[in-house]
Amino acid sequence: MSDGRLYWRCRRGMLELDLLLQGFLERGYGELDAAGRAAFERLLETPDTDLQALLLGGKQPDDTEVAHVIEAIRRAAAP
């Protein structure tokens, strides 16, 4: 998937999600291996309300690879 297309998939209906996901593309996505990139794309298929709960800590994913990506997103967002 092209970087531009992935960037647009990270644009969501919530500003918080936009900031987290687009920030991760800039600061952490390049460090993912192929499995991590596939897990990130699976994560992007999640509806916004569920995605917000996953990223902000209220919900745990069933997919362990997605869980690793979520932790990477959180680390990339930390000051």
What angle is formed at CA 62 by the lines to CA 48 and CA 78, rounded to 5 degrees?
60
Query: How many domains is the chain partitioned into structurally?
Result: 1
Domain span at residue 62? 3-77
Q: Output the pTM of the full model.
A: 0.89
Per-residue pLDDT of the chain (79 residues; tens, 9 = 90+): 557 889 999 999 899 999 999 999 999 999 999 999 999 999 999 999 999 999 998 789 999 999 999 999 999 988 7
pLDDT of residue 16: 92
CATH classification of the domain holding 16: 1.10.150.250
pLDDT of residue 79: 73
Contacts of 13 (CB under 8 A, 6+ apart): 48
